[in-house]
Structure 1
Amino acid sequence: MKAAPDITSPATASGPGRPRDPGVDRRVLEAAINIYGELGWHGFSIEAVARGAGVGKATIYRRWPNRTDLLIDAVRARVAVVAHAEAGDVRTELLELTRNLLRNYLADYGRSTMRLTLEAHLVPGLEEHWDEVRSSQILAARSIVQRAVDRGQLPPETSVTLLLDTLSGAVLMHAQAVPPQLRARQAAQADAYAGELVDFVLGAVRARPDA
């Protein structure tokens, strides 16, 4: 996955007058992504974000004309598309992909990522970015599988759909099933879980009768 863009990116340019404070922009975007994760689109408002960021509503409106633009910038600053590099080994490549998926769900903005799977279509302009994120995951998985087949590391009949469904579904369930008090431990053990999950999926794929 690409490194998340600098969260201050919407504030890089300012018009005539007083320069914009990147610290304020950072606080606003962090508050926005967290409030969306907590309240969803229907509870998301400029007023709530202003309270969470400790700024006035006018400060936000000078930067973002409405809540839609604010949320889109907040999501783009945190949830990036997957940029996958070839490593020459299917396990290494799938492990990288799985770790990226885990980061999206176990990070401090994880609840927002979960909401996006259900609510992205409610926000004009946000659905396009979420579709880009999902498409990048699918394309990365397809490329991994095709290269692995070409190298003889996976059988030709390997289903990209089943492989990605298994990985992404397991990651989502893993993130949802753990109670809040165990979140810190879960995040600390994320890499170990990713390795176990990838080994399980690869074992299942290679053990299929048609393989």
Structure 2
Amino acid sequence: MSTTSPGRPRDPGVDRRVLRAALDLFGDAGWAGFAMEAVAKRAAVGKASLYLRYRDKETLLTDALTANLPHVADVDTGTLHGDLVELARQILDVYAGPAGRAAMRLLLEGRAIPGIAGQYETTRRAQMRAARAIVRRGMDRGELPPATSVRLLLETLAGGAMMHALTTAPARSDQAHRLVDFLLNTVVNHPRQGHPGGHDNVDE
């Protein structure tokens, strides 16, 4: 958590500027190029002011990610198609939105960053459980073949959304619908037959 100064009250505008600068720097330069002095320069604040707020760069980056990075959460619209569209939209919001570069850096480097790895892993597992709950509801309602690989379906959905975000700017507003329509048409109309391991562990 950030530290507070015993002096005059914190300026919320400066706080937001610092966190945004930290997020942008991480997205541009990664952990190797992330430094308190560089964040202060981007945010147009003095180094002393920055160190009054944050004791180290790990704490600063943690707060920047918490404040600015969208999260993927379980959504129950009543249908598998609707749930997956909302899931795809959330993934597109993460990787095609203002925090997209930082989100990609976190995906690539999160496990190796001191002070960030634990939080990253906890968040990743919570998001995967939520996403898999969506697919399991669809299977329970009979909207998916029983042998559907939960892992492969979600990896295909997430990978398709991420690739679109990385290669198409701006992202298409209807991309979530297009991706889910294609994916469900493939899974429902061409289910796997006799392939072992269709039921992936949804709690990993």
Q: Which range, TM-score by smaller chain?
A: 0.7 to 0.9
Higher normalized helix content (fraction of residues): 1
2:75 to 80, 85, 93: 85
Q: What residue ranges of structure 1 are gaps of 5+ in the alignment?
A: 1-9
1:46 to 36, 49, 66: 36
Where does residue 205 of structure 1 map in the other structure? 187
Where does residue 97 of structure 2 map in the other structure? 107
Where does residue 87 of structure 2 map in the other structure? 97
The root-mean-square deviation of aligned C-alpha atoms, in Å, is 1.8
Please report how far the alpha carbon of residue 14 of structure 1 lies from its aligned counterpart in structure 2 after TM superposition: 4.5
Please report how far the alpha carbon of residue 161 of structure 1 lies from its aligned counterpart in structure 2 after TM superposition: 0.3
Among all aligned residue pairs of Structure 1 and Structure 2, give the percentage whose two residues are the same amino acid. 46
Matches within 5 A, 1:172-187: 172-178=162-168, 183=169, 185-186=170-171
Return the TM-score normalized by structure 2.
Answer: 0.88
2:178 to 196, 204, 211: 196
Q: Deviations over 1:32-79 (max 9, x none)?
A: 000110011011111111111010011110000111110111011122
Q: What residue ranges of structure 2 are gaps of 5+ in the alignment?
A: 194-204
2:22 to 32, 45, 52: 32
Given that 1:145 and 1:158 are in contact with CA atoms closer than 8 Å, whether structure 2 keeps it comes out as: no
Where does residue 200 of structure 2 map in the other structure? none
Q: Deviations over 1:87-130 (max 9, x none)?
A: 21001111111111001101111111111111112322212222
Where does residue 6 of structure 1 map in the other structure? none
Counterpart AA for 1:152: G
Give the secondary structure class of the aligned counterpart of 1:124: coil
Given that 1:31 and 1:49 are in contact with CA atoms closer than 8 Å, whether structure 2 keeps it comes out as: yes
d(CA) in 1 for partners of 2:69, 2:118: 13
Q: Deviations over 1:152-181 (max 9, x none)?
A: 111111111001110111122112223xxx
Where does residue 160 of structure 1 map in the other structure? 150
Return the TM-score normalized by structure 1.
Answer: 0.85
Q: Deviations over 1:117-150 (max 9, x none)?
A: 1111232221222223322332122111111111
Q: Deviations over 1:11-43 (max 9, x none)?
A: 7x8454311111110000000000110011011
Please report how far the alpha carbon of residue 208 of structure 1 lies from its aligned counterpart in structure 2 after TM superposition: 2.2
Please report how far the alpha carbon of residue 80 of structure 1 lies from its aligned counterpart in structure 2 after TM superposition: 4.3
Where does residue 145 of structure 1 map in the other structure? 135
